[in-house]
Structure formats: structure tokens, C-alpha cells
């Protein structure tokens, strides 16, 4: 007898342990766009999950830094434009 359950089990890409479904949420980006289903998985290997959490938080930190840098660039551009207008007048 063959079991099909094995193929439906998701494995962690880091350690190969089974992944546990933590939550499932449906997000809609725009009012008329199709909703996107997001599944959040957790590694059943505690040590591995800790490592993933660490990586995730550092990635979020990096993203925030990039966002801040982008904002600063936009602010600098606006300042430049204002200066130009002053010169033109």
C-alpha cells in the first residue's frame, strides 16, 4: 500500500524537518484584486525555528533601514526642487 500523505508534508528547506501550519490569512491588496492566501509555517525543529526567527528579524531590520534611506532620498529631492524654484524666481 502506498501512502500519499508523505508528498503533502512540507519540509523545512533549512533542516528537512516537517513544517507545522501556524496560521492562514487572506489578504487583499486592492479592492478589486483577487485575495491572496498566505500560509505561515513553523519548523518543527525548535533550534532551526529559532535560527529562522533570528534571520527574519534581521531581514525586517534591513527592510526598515532601506525604507528609511528611500524616504531620506525623497526628502532630499523635494528640497532640491524647492531650491530650484527659488532660483527660477
Binding stretches for Zn ion (CB under 5 A): 12, 14-15, 17, 43, 45, 48
- Cα separation, 6 vs 21, in Å, equals 16
Helix (H, G, I), strand (E, B) or coil at 43: strand
Q: Which is nearer to Zn ion, 10 or 78 (CB)?
A: 10
How far apart, in Å, are the Cα atoms of 38 and each of 16, 22, 75, 88?
A: 21, 11, 34, 51
Q: For residues 10 and 62, which CB has a smaller minimum distance to Zn ion in the complex?
A: 10
58 vs 65, which CB is nearer to Zn ion?
A: 58
Closest approach, Cβ 43 to Zn ion, in A, equals: 3
Question: Shortest approach of Zn ion to residue 8 CB, angstroms?
Answer: 18
Amino acid at each position: 500500500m502506498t501512502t500519499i500523505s508523505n508528498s503533502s508534508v512540507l519540509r523545512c528547506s533549512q533542516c528537512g524537518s516537517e513544517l507545522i501550519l501556524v496560521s492562514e490569512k487572506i489578504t487583499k491588496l486592492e479592492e478589486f484584486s483577487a485575495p491572496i492566501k498566505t500560509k505561515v509555517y513553523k519548523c518543527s525543529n525548535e533550534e532551526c525555528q529559532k535560527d529562522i526567527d533570528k534571520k527574519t528579524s534581521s531581514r525586517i531590520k534591513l527592510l526598515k533601514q532601506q525604507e528609511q534611506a528611500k524616504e531620506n532620498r525623497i526628502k532630499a529631492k523635494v528640497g532640491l526642487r524647492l531650491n530650484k524654484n527659488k532660483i527660477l524666481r
